[in-house]
Amino acid sequence: MTNIVVLGSTNMDLVAYVPRAPERGETVTGREFRTTPGGKGANQAVAAARAGGDVVMIGAVGTDVFGPRLRAALESAGVETDLLHTTEGPSGTAHIVVDDAGDNAIVVIPGANGTLTALGPGEDTAIAAADTLLLQLELPLSVVVAGAAAARAHGVRTVLTPSPVRPLPPELLSCVDLLVPNQHEAEALTGHADPRAAADELLRLVPEVVITLGAAGSLHASRTTPPLTVPAPKVTAVDTTGAGDTFVGTLAVAVGEGRPVTEALAWASTAAALCVQKPGAAASMPYRQEIEAAS
């Protein structure tokens, strides 16, 4: 089994399902509202655990009503939560609008996630014991950098999802082994709308890149292998929330198990395609048997 540590966010997703998203200043009537546990960190942790990884979550929940639900959701997916802190105040929340096309728009309020600014006791040790560290940008940058530096010091592979996108400082980039932006993030980081051009630019910063392209699949590029485009299975998307996190969590498990990169990417694409066919983020993430059955 592959050992994965996720240093990342837990948010309660407050999801409004609407025929179409409102324009600025406009009010629309939605048809349904759901609260579901999410956060990019927790989503990647659940995806990796369901795909068969041994997963430890480092993060924080609040003392509000959402805190215990967020912790329980991770535990029920089999994620180890001893390093998930409870801090005074609200949990992180994500306010999500999902439209009939399955597209989404999201506001994230960090809450407890914002209190994590440095690694705590035991966290360096946990990272040292991992095969892979999964990072995103929903925690303060200082702790993301500290986690990446700890991983580098212990020879642990670091995978960064640069979301929400922001400029990436050299001290972080120098510790990243694999960067996994979506197409918008890749464009924001490089100025290139064309994924090939964006990948070339990103390879100046990190040794390996996967740009996810929604229904168009993904593009893998590294300093040592030719670019590779992986198509996504043709499916009807009902909610793409969590697709990228499913992709990354599953990819980390496959790579950690020593699968060749083409097979790992195909596996991650299959898992993400299963995720988009159901509503919700973590709730719609597939289990290992489902990924195997659909592969």
| Residue whose CB is nearest to ligand ADP in the complex, by number | 244
Closer CB to ligand ADP, 11 or 269, in the complex: 269
Closer CB to ligand ADP, 66 or 247, in the complex: 247
Nearest to 114 by CA among 98, 133, 138, 93: 138
Closer CB to ligand ADP, 39 or 90, in the complex: 39
Output the six-digit token pair for 13.
């997703």
DSSP sequence for 75-110:
HHTT-B-TTEEEESSPPEEEEEEE-TTS-EEEEEE-
101-120 burial, b if ≥16 CB within 10 A, otherwise e? ebebebebebbbbbbbeebe
Nearest to 13 by CA among 70, 84, 63, 77: 70
| Interacting positions 219-238 with ligand ADP (CB under 6 A) | 232-233, 235, 237
Does 2 engage in binding with ligand ADP (CB under 6 A)? no
Does 215 engage in binding with ligand ADP (CB under 6 A)? yes
Q: Which stretch binds ligand ADP (CB under 6 A): 2-10, 21-29, 210-218, 220-228?
A: 210-218
- Give me the least distance between CB of 85 and ligand ADP, in Å please: 26
- Give me the least distance between CB of 216 and ligand ADP, in Å please: 8
Longest CA pairwise span in the chain (Å) = 52
Closer CB to ligand ADP, 62 or 244, in the complex: 244
Q: Which stretch binds ligand ADP (CB under 6 A): 74-82, 129-137, 214-222, 254-262?
A: 214-222
- Give me the least distance between CB of 277 and ligand ADP, in Å please: 8
Position among 70, 221, 276, 281 found at the interface with ligand ADP (CB under 6 A): 276
Does 11 engage in binding with ligand ADP (CB under 6 A)? no
Q: Is 126 helix (H, G, I), strand (E, B) or coil?
A: helix
Closer CB to ligand ADP, 103 or 124, in the complex: 103
DSSP sequence for 189-218:
HHS-SSHHHHHHHHTTTSSEEEEE-GGG-E
Query: What is the residue type of 287?
Result: Y
Closer CB to ligand ADP, 132 or 270, in the complex: 270
Does 8 engage in binding with ligand ADP (CB under 6 A)? no
Does 106 engage in binding with ligand ADP (CB under 6 A)? no
DSSP sequence for 133-148:
EEE-SSS-HHHHHHHH
Strand partners, 97: 16, 105
Output the six-digit token pair for 259.
């699968």
Does 91 engage in binding with ligand ADP (CB under 6 A)? no
Catalytic residue flag (residue 245): yes
| Interacting positions 134-193 with ligand ADP (CB under 6 A) | 182
Scanning the structure block, which residue is given the tokens 């929330």? Answer: 241
Scanning the structure block, which residue is given the tokens 């489902």? Answer: 290
Write out the catalytic residue numbers: 245
Residues that bind ligand ADP (CB under 6 A): 182, 212-215, 217-218, 232-233, 235, 237, 240, 243-244, 247, 269, 272-273, 276
